[in-house]
Amino acid sequence: MIYIVRHGQTDWNVKKKVMGRCDEPLNENGKEQAEETRRNLKETDLDFIICSPLQRARQTAEIINRDRDIPIIYDDRIIERDFGEFEGKETKDFDFYGYWNYYKNDTYKRAENIQEFFKRIYAFLDEINNKYKDKNVLIVAHGGVSIPVACYFNNNIPEGSLVDAGLVLGNCQIANYSKLKK
């Protein structure tokens, strides 16, 4: 079983600022959200936690792992999409929805191309699928990462803006995928 949790809330989430590689910590509400997720996963058997190295994800994973002592593996491949020139902007200040259109596939000055982002996440998931196929793995990552994860396991990349397709996890929302892609 694969579980994925988006990190808890940060101040930038509240301000609706785009946050990719910026290393923002959890705010107090985010810490409470992670604590609630820890309680919600208390009875869930987990073998590994694989976590983005960004502070907001690390803090979330550490709170979830409290009293468990499960190995946490940090993996750069599940770091958030690089927003480049859009980092720190509000979603209304650029074509945020076009930015998340897989088929539009724009290239940018510094921001990560969506199809390259998907390739990175899919390669990670292919490895997890092979390496940990009989294990229960919790992935602690980001809202953007939750999009290609959902597409991978659903074997479908919808048309249009993927943020409008209901694929983005909310802060500390949990999704699980019991059937791995073949």
In the block, which residue shows the tokens 């808890």? 8
Backbone angles phi, psi at 50, to 5 degrees: -115, 125
* Active site annotation includes 43: no
Given a contact cutoff of 8 angstroms between Cβ atoms, the answer to whether 174 and 4 are in contact is yes
In the block, which residue shows the tokens 């990560």? 112
Given a contact cutoff of 8 angstroms between Cβ atoms, the answer to whether 100 and 110 are in contact is no
Total Cβ atoms within 10 A of residue 62: 15
Catalytic, out of 24, 36, 43, 80? 80
Catalytic, out of 7, 87, 90, 159? 7
CA pair distance 60, 137, nearest whole angstrom: 15
* Active site annotation includes 80: yes
Residues marked active site are found at 7, 80
